[in-house]
Amino acid sequence: MKLLFVVSEDWYFRSHRLPVALAARKAGWDVGLAAQVSDAAPEIERADIRIHPLRLRRGSVNPLRDLGYLIRLYRLYRREKPDLVHHVAMKPVLYGSIAARLARIPCVVNALAGMGYLSTADRPHVRLIGRLVLFCFRRLFNRPQTLLIVQNATDREALERAGVAPDRIRLIRGSGVDLAVFRPPSARPVRAVARAVMVSRLLLDKGVAEYAQAARLLRERKAPVRLVLVGAPDSANPHAVPQTLLDEAQADGALEMPGQRSDVHDLYREADMAVLPSYREGLPKSLIEAAACGLPIVTTDVAGCRETVGGLNGNPPITPINAKTNWQQGENGIVVPPRNAEALAAAIGFLAERPELRADMGRASRALAEQKFGIEKAVEQTMAVYHELRLAADSGHG
Per-residue pLDDT tens for 191-212? 999 999 999 999 999 999 999 9
pLDDT recorded at residue 249: 81
Partner residues linked to 164 by β-bridges: none
**pLDDT of res. 253:** 86
183 lies in some domain: no
Question: 328-351 pLDDT, tens per residue?
Answer: 899 999 999 999 999 999 999 999
Cα–Cα distance, 35 to 10 (Å, whole number):
5
Q: Where is pLDDT greater, at 93 or 62?
A: 93
pLDDT of the residue at 312: 73
Angle between helix 208-220 and 243-251 (nearest 10): 20
- The answer to whether residue 189 is domain-embedded is no
Residues 145 and 250 occupy one common structural domain: no
Mean pLDDT of 283-287: 95
CATH of the domain at 138: 3.40.50.2000
Q: Are residues 384 and 331 in the same domain?
A: no
pLDDT for residue 174 is more than 80:
yes
Helix (H) or strand (E) holding 132: helix 124-141
Provide the residue range defining the domain that includes 302.
194-373
In a domain, 187, yes or no: no
Same domain? 227 vs 238: yes
Same domain assignment for residues 171 and 240:
no
Cα-flanking dihedrals φ and ψ of residue 285, to 5°? -60, -35
Has residue 176 got a pLDDT over 60? yes
3-state helix/strand/coil string of 207-244: CHHHHHHHHHHHHHCCCCEEEEEECCECCCCCCECCHH
What pLDDT, on the 0 to 100 scale, is given for residue 305? Answer: 95
For residue 315, pLDDT over 80 is answered with: no
Say if residue 142 is in the same domain as residue 248: no
Q: What is the pLDDT of residues 286-310, one digit of tens each?
A: 999 999 999 999 999 999 999 999 9
3-class DSSP assignment, residue 77: helix
- In tens, the pLDDT along 66-117 reads 899 999 999 999 999 999 999 999 899 999 999 999 999 999 999 998 765 5
d(Cα 74, Cα 64) in Å, to the nearest integer? Answer: 16
Comparing 133-137, 143-147, 349-353, the range with the smallest average pLDDT is 133-137
Q: Are residues 311 and 389 in the same domain?
A: no
Share of the chain above pLDDT 90, in %: 74
Residue 84 inside a domain? The answer is: yes
Asked if 50 and 33 count as a contact pair (C-beta separation under 8 A), the reply is yes
Q: Phi-psi bin for 259: left (phi > 0), alpha (psi -120 to 50), beta?
A: left
Phi and psi angles of residue 62, each rounded to the nearest 5 degrees, phi first: -105, 110
- pLDDT score, position 393: 84
- Judged by average pLDDT, the poorest of 63-77, 110-124, 137-151, 321-335 is 110-124
Q: What separation in angstroms does the CA of 277 have from each of 130, 221, 301, 334, 342?
A: 23, 20, 9, 11, 12
Give 250-271 pLDDT, tens digit per residue: 888 889 999 888 899 999 999 9
- Residues 199, 182: Cα–Cα separation, whole Å: 14
**Residue 373: left if φ>0, alpha if ψ -120 to 50, beta else—which one?**
alpha
Residue 118 or residue 385, greater confidence: 385
- Residue 211, amino acid: Y
Kindly report the pTM of this predicted structure. 0.90
Whole-number Å distance between alpha carbons of 37 and 18: 15
Phi then psi for residue 46, to 5 deg, are -65, -20
- What value does the mean pLDDT take over residues 374-382? 96
- Which residues, in sequence order, are CB contacts of 384 under 8 Å at separation 6+? none
What pLDDT, on a 0 to 100 scale, did the predictor assign at position 314? 47
Torsion of CA 315, 319, 322, 327, to 10 degrees: -20
Count of domains in the chain? 2
On the question of pLDDT at 316 being above 80, the answer is no
pLDDT at 319: 56
Q: Which residues contact 392 (CB under 8 A, 6 or more apart)?
A: 107, 144, 145, 398
> In the predicted model, what is the mean pLDDT of the chain?
90
Secondary structure, 3-state, 264-293: HHHHHHCCCEEEECCCCCCCCHHHHHHHHC
List the one residue out of 371, 153, 126 whose CA is nearest residue 282: 153
